[in-house]
Structure 1
Amino acid sequence: MGAEYNRRVKTVPYKITIKVPDKVYAKTPFQVTGEVTLDGSPVAGAKVTLYVNGEPKGEVYTSSDGRYVITTMLDEGEHVLKTLAEISVVEPKTLALVIGTVASGAAIVYAAKKLKEKK
């Protein structure tokens, strides 16, 4: 007969953040930044993938301080950015962006600080 095992599931408080610059221009590269932490301590070497409108657009590994930087570029319009760390207990973070054309023809993202972060 096989041995019996007691299994316990423990919730591990990993966290991932996502940030974009206050101004982002259409078809111009910009950086998506953030960090992955566990109980407030940085997680080095976590694989972070950036999704734009559900499509993967880049991946990097966190540095020794848990931070990541992914450079991307967007067309004019509404976009949803999500970062996901390959640590099964990390909840992805999602950020909605709207890129519109101003009178001069330059396209900008409305100030990121005014955007609501989705969980």
Structure 2
Amino acid sequence: MKLEQSSGIGWPPKAATAMHKYRRGADQGHVTGQAHLGIFYAEGRGVARDDVQAYKWLELAIAQLAESDPSSHDEFTPQRDVLAARMTAAQLQQARKPIASLKPRPETQLKYRVTSP
């Protein structure tokens, strides 16, 4: 089974640009950004392949969906499970540890602050 994008959402043409946009959304707590960031890491799209990061972001998206709508959290579970099947036990342990530390950051915290001299 191949990791695939969710239906109805097309890939932007430039993977690096898309990666940047998904990262920004993921950092702000958007489920779509988190899930797609995980998929991009899993496939090495616009970034070096990193199964640990992929698992973290997919798991975060799944957990957030489960909180908001318990019936919809299965959308990304199969992709996470395919990823987990190719990971070592050490990688899975590493991926599961810091998930709690991945907290959404509001947009205002992501921008540079301008101060007067």
Band of TM-score, shorter chain? under 0.3
Which has a greater percent of strand?
Answer: 1
Q: TM-score, normalization: structure 2?
A: 0.26
Q: TM-score, normalization: structure 1?
A: 0.26
